[in-house]
């Protein structure tokens, strides 16, 4: 009986538009090929050049962000293989659940650290000099470890129950289904609201120009704007598609409209993996030192003058007057 059920689930998870899913797989492979060396190079700078654990900035948050992106990237070849085989998910139930666990965990971590980075910049610009818990903890790894630990329980619903296509509602909606969907939506919508608030406040401060120099304020606006762009391109479309898919599935299960909604959702989920390519923009907007360091190490022909030296004991980059980035 179990084998029959598993066969039915596998059949129901077949990709009806195989050519389109092959295109999805090709996009994921391209993202993997481009994003893996990019994020690996960023990780190398954080560890061996900046020594993020000794830095007096928010490099700890950014290190965890790139770590989450790299872990997420390792899921893409498996998903691409499933799509090429004509299935929306792995035929192996263990692999299916492990994949969903990794996607939930690292996607949530990526969103969390993007949000924390923006909140940190918000306090620096809108409330400079005011003591806050985030400013006290950002120089230590405790808050980053806490974020990872808080994300782990949120992935438990993905492991409790064998459900159709490993991410769909069954005929009978259960508590696990509700928990899984609540996690999916809240980890995107709540941070998005926070980001909108931070962006509006920072932009207002830039217009008033009452605190800080204009360059610093503009850089903060660029940062929160880049994070908003990442959310708008990568996360919001798949969230809306997920909402429509659930509405269609509950009202017209088995209808062709549901199949089309599932195909659209899978495609927008593939688009969400683009954040692994867009997140490095956040690093550049967070720190001009990081941008200069990255270019001087990997693209020295774009830097005029001598490469930027790094003090290995502190991870700090001096401010030479002669070096200019093209």
Tokens of 4: 């029959």
CB 80 within 8 A of CB 35: no
* 88 φ, ψ (degrees, to nearest 5): -75, -20
Domain boundaries, the chain: 2-286
Predicted confidence at residue 325, as pLDDT, reads: 38
Question: Which one-letter DSSP state was computed for residue 305?
Answer: S
Predicted confidence at residue 48, as pLDDT, reads: 86
Predicted confidence at residue 41, as pLDDT, reads: 93
Per-residue pLDDT of the chain (326 residues; tens, 9 = 90+): 444 445 445 556 888 889 999 999 999 999 999 999 999 999 999 888 887 777 655 788 888 999 999 999 999 999 999 999 999 888 888 888 888 888 888 889 999 988 888 888 888 888 776 666 666 666 667 788 888 998 988 887 766 665 556 555 555 667 777 888 888 899 899 999 999 998 888 888 877 765 556 777 777 788 888 888 889 999 999 999 999 988 888 887 667 788 888 899 999 999 999 999 999 888 877 777 788 888 888 888 877 765 554 443 334 444 444 444 33
Predicted confidence at residue 209, as pLDDT, reads: 65
C-alpha span between 74 and 98 (Å, rounded): 12
Start-to-end CA distance of the chain, whole Å, equals 66
C-alpha span between 68 and 54 (Å, rounded): 20
- State the SS3 of 21-50: HHHHHHHHHHHHHHHHHHHHHHHHHHHHHC
Overall pTM surpassing 0.85 (yes/no): no
- Residue 303: its H or E element: strand 303-304
Predicted confidence at residue 1, as pLDDT, reads: 45
Provide the 10 A C-beta neighbour count for residue 186. 12
- What's the burial of 121, exposed, middle or buried (CB within 10 Å: 0-12/13-18/19+)? buried
Say which residue the tokens 């069954």 belong to: 170
Q: Is 315 helix (H, G, I), strand (E, B) or coil?
A: coil
Indicate the class that CATH gives domain 2-286.
Answer: mainly alpha
Say which residue the tokens 């490095």 belong to: 280
Predicted confidence at residue 322, as pLDDT, reads: 42
Mean pLDDT of the chain: 79
Predicted confidence at residue 194, as pLDDT, reads: 92
Predicted confidence at residue 164, as pLDDT, reads: 54
Q: For residue 304, list its beta bridge partners.
A: 324
CB 65 within 8 A of CB 290: no
């Amino acid at each position: 009986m179990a084998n029959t059920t598993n066969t039915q689930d596998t059949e129901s998870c077949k990709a009806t538009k195989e050519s389109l899913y092959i295109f999805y797989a090709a996009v994921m492979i391209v993202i993997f090929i481009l994003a893996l060396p990019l994020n690996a190079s960023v990780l190398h700078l954080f560890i061996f050049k900046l020594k993020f654990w000794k830095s007096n900035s928010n490099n700890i948050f950014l290190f965890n962000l790139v770590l989450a992106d790299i872990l997420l990237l390792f899921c893409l070849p498996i998903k691409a293989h499933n799509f090429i085989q004509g299935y929306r998910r792995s035929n192996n139930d263990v692999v299916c659940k492990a994949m969903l666990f990794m996607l939930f965990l690292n996607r949530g971590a990526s969103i969390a650290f993007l949000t924390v980075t923006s909140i940190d910049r918000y306090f620096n610009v809108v409330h400079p000099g005011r003591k806050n818990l985030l400013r006290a903890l950002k120089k230590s790894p405790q808050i980053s470890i806490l974020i990872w630990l808080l994300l782990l329980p949120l992935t438990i619903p993905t492991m409790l129950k064998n459900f159709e296509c490993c991410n769909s509602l069954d005929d009978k909606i259960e508590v696990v289904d509700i928990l899984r969907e609540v996690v999916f939506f809240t980890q995107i919508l709540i941070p998005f609201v926070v980001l909108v608030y931070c962006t509006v406040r920072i932009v207002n401060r830039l217009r008033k120009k009452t605190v800080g120099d204009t360059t610093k304020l503009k850089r903060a606006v660029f940062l929160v704007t880049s994070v908003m762009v990442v959310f708008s391109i990568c996360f919001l479309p798949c969230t809306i598609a997920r909402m429509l898919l659930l509405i269609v599935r509950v009202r017209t299960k088995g209808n062709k409209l549901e199949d089309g909604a599932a195909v659209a959702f899978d495609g927008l989920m593939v688009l969400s993996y683009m954040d692994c390519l867009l997140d490095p923009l956040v690093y550049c907007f967070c720190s001009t030192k990081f941008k200069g360091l990255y270019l001087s190490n990997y693209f020295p022909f774009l830097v005029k003058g001598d490469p930027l030296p790094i003090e290995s004991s502190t991870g700090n980059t001096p401010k030479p007057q002669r070096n200019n980035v093209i």
